[in-house]
Chain A
């Protein structure tokens, strides 16, 4: 075919449709190749082990400087009534990097996984003497040292500037004990509060530790006014107790209903204003903006709140402060009766409900904890039951834009 013929052919094909097709073709189809940024921003992972009789559950996680995630978990072990310690490291895409089934000498790991000066710490206890241990790990999840702290049954912990505040249960004196622990493992201050006499009050505590009973929402922390508080047993009742760690008697007590009522989570916003959730004989209430008297004696049941019938009975609740769409928000995470992880978003300033998001489907999903991430999104860690039966750790990463779309 000569060029003249070809030119003639081309000249004849002048209908508008060809031009339009070329424009459409050029404009729309070159932007859908691999997207590493999106891959880091949003993902869902379930970390599976193919052994039939293993079970893992997460307790807490932290994002490491490399963008990856360090997950502290527990695992079922044959030779102890308590859970073993499990550590896993995943990269910024959620891909598995390493895991460590920590020696069964130490059991009962508790959260949070606390970051201090580039190192990560958590408490657990010895399997035989039930003595509290402080474990230091690096960002890759390798144990750097194990420090004997003393005391027994660690229940909750928190970072207190350059120290740790620890809530533990002393089964000999039957006391809830609040201690200040240095990174070197020494106790600088400690105060015990009686749970009450008799075995009945101790039973739910022990069942919590050996995980045969309900997981109680033990918590400890420090208020902005410098006082310490714990959510645990005091005087036969699961209560929020405020102390200065000096006086024998608490400064304030917000009483629950034995083990059937109390706070399931507390986060101080400022002064006497808190974001909290409470449980009461199976019911769950969210209080995204509540004033709590930190002195004197009051009752949790009097605080009211938004009742959430969709949550499981006495549901665990985690509260995260996070900023989205230029607002300071509170994200409540909990477990629904439909076996999903539910995220409820509230305005931190006035407690207004802003939106919700549900994670998981088909297999059961349960919340462990959630964190903000360096890219402005959130990461949610939980337990899922793969094939409806194998407890495994799951990690949801939700990007800033994606999560913002859930907020009004």
Chain B
């Protein structure tokens, strides 16, 4: 269903672009007409790159509920912007007089980790002690549908730009792995152990969609008949990604003692790619740019 929606959106954007291309144009009749022609352009292309994720818990939840110590001792510690994800986008952009309106359907794979620690001891006997570390990694795939406005800061061959927009993301898939390691001091020595990670499908634990705002900077470089792009943007998640109704729905994770917090996620997204113009100055497909 989500894949179908993705394809439909891409298809519509391509059709829209193609229709624009078919509009009659007056090629290179004189300088003023050329300038007028250059005021607007359609671009179609693709880009790909890497991303880093920050997870912000807005409400914390726990399975392990302390009765004689502070629950904060077991709080999950989120490791922000430490795991590389990746993304690939199609881009359809309409340029007009320095402004560009861009639709960039994206497949985005994100990763983030958190850990928590548990300690059991006996104040009267130092050897009666167990330390456990739970390391969790989430891998989530989204189909993003961002709509952004770009503004070119210069009109030269190298064009830096700034952009702002909104995005809507549909969940495609999610997995979670939990690795438990620890130190057992009660075995007659220091017994360091590490269990095989438990990997579970976690799609049900996440909301089917979330939305956010995006802003960033980038560079366009016109090379021959194409435009190269380097894009750095920040995605600010505005809604909870956790499925609140199904928070405890995975018995395997609950049994381990893990439950999903309410989370908003932010991403740093770096992409490079290439755009192709859809309107041309002449039949020889000369580039539109000076």
> In the complex, which of the residues A9, A21, A51, A361 contacts B168, with contact meaning CB atoms closer than 8 Å?
A21
CB-based contact B128/A53 at 8 Å: yes
Chain A residues numbered 40-57 whose CB sits less than 8 Å from any CB in chain B: 41-53
> Min CB distance, B280 to chain A, in Å?
18
Q: What residues of B have a CB within 8 angstroms of the CB of A35 in the complex?
A: 244-245
Q: What residues of A have a CB within 8 angstroms of the CB of B243 in the complex?
A: 32
Query: Considering the chains assembled together, what is the distance between the CA atoms of A90 and B62 in angstroms?
Result: 14
Q: What residues of A have a CB within 8 angstroms of the CB of B121 in the complex?
A: 50-52
B236 interface residue per 8 A CB criterion? no
Q: What residues of B have a CB within 8 angstroms of the CB of A5 in the complex?
A: 97
> In the complex, which of the residues A28, A34, A45, A384 contacts B262, with contact meaning CB atoms closer than 8 Å?
A34
CB-based contact A38/B245 at 8 Å: yes
A387 interface residue per 8 A CB criterion? yes
Q: What residues of B have a CB within 8 angstroms of the CB of A24 in the complex?
A: 5, 145, 168
Query: Considering the chains assembled together, what is the distance between the CA atoms of A15 and B93 in angstroms?
Result: 10
B16 interface residue per 8 A CB criterion? yes
Q: What residues of B have a CB within 8 angstroms of the CB of A350 in the complex?
A: none
> In the complex, which of the residues A15, A17, A42, A47 contacts B67, with contact meaning CB atoms closer than 8 Å?
A47
Contact stretch, chosen from A93-101, A216-224, A280-288 = A93-101
Task: State how many residues of chain B have any CB contact under 8 Å with chain A.
Answer: 68
By secondary structure, the A interface counts as: mixed
A344 interface residue per 8 A CB criterion? no
CB-based contact A50/B147 at 8 Å: no
Q: What residues of A have a CB within 8 angstroms of the CB of B259 in the complex?
A: 44
B83 interface residue per 8 A CB criterion? no
Q: What residues of A have a CB within 8 angstroms of the CB of B122 in the complex?
A: 51-53
Contact stretch, chosen from B24-32, B205-213, B217-225 = B205-213
Chain B residues numbered 119-177 whose CB sits less than 8 Å from any CB in chain A: 119-122, 125, 128-130, 132, 145, 147, 166, 168
Query: Considering the chains assembled together, what is the distance between the CA atoms of A37 and B239 in angstroms?
Result: 19
> Min CB distance, A395 to chain B, in Å?
9
Determine the residue in chain A with the shortest Cβ distance to B17.
Answer: A15
Given A50-B69, A361-B252, is A29 in contact with B245 using a C-beta cutoff of 8 Å?
Answer: no
Write the A265-290 contact mask toward B (1 if CB under 8 angstroms, else 0).
00000000000000000000000000
CB-based contact A52/B128 at 8 Å: yes
Given A15-B17, A362-B198, is A47 in contact with B94 using a C-beta cutoff of 8 Å?
Answer: no
Chain B residues numbered 1-28 whose CB sits less than 8 Å from any CB in chain A: 5, 9, 12-13, 15-17, 20
Query: Considering the chains assembled together, what is the distance between the CA atoms of A47 and B74 in angstroms?
Result: 13
Query: Considering the chains assembled together, what is the distance between the CA atoms of A47 and B64 in angstroms?
Result: 6
> In the complex, which of the residues A15, A39, A46, A51 contacts B94, with contact meaning CB atoms closer than 8 Å?
A15
B77 interface residue per 8 A CB criterion? no
CB-based contact B130/A46 at 8 Å: no
> Min CB distance, B98 to chain A, in Å?
9
CB-based contact A21/B103 at 8 Å: yes
> Min CB distance, A401 to chain B, in Å?
9
CB-based contact B168/A44 at 8 Å: no
Q: What residues of A have a CB within 8 angstroms of the CB of B119 in the complex?
A: 50
CB-based contact A33/B65 at 8 Å: no
Q: What residues of B have a CB within 8 angstroms of the CB of A386 in the complex?
A: 64, 118, 257
> In the complex, which of the residues A9, A33, A38 contacts B97, with contact meaning CB atoms closer than 8 Å?
A9
Given A25-B211, A359-B251, A361-B256, is A32 in contact with B67 using a C-beta cutoff of 8 Å?
Answer: no
B254 interface residue per 8 A CB criterion? yes
Query: Considering the chains assembled together, what is the distance between the CA atoms of A45 and B257 in angstroms?
Result: 8
Query: Mind listing 18 A-B residue pairs with CB under 8 Å?
Result: A13-B94, A15-B12, A17-B9, A32-B209, A32-B240, A33-B244, A39-B247, A47-B67, A48-B66, A50-B120, A51-B122, A53-B122, A361-B251, A361-B252, A363-B255, A386-B64, A387-B118, A387-B132
Q: Which 5 A-B pairs have the closest CB atoms?
A: A361-B255, A15-B16, A35-B244, A44-B254, A29-B211
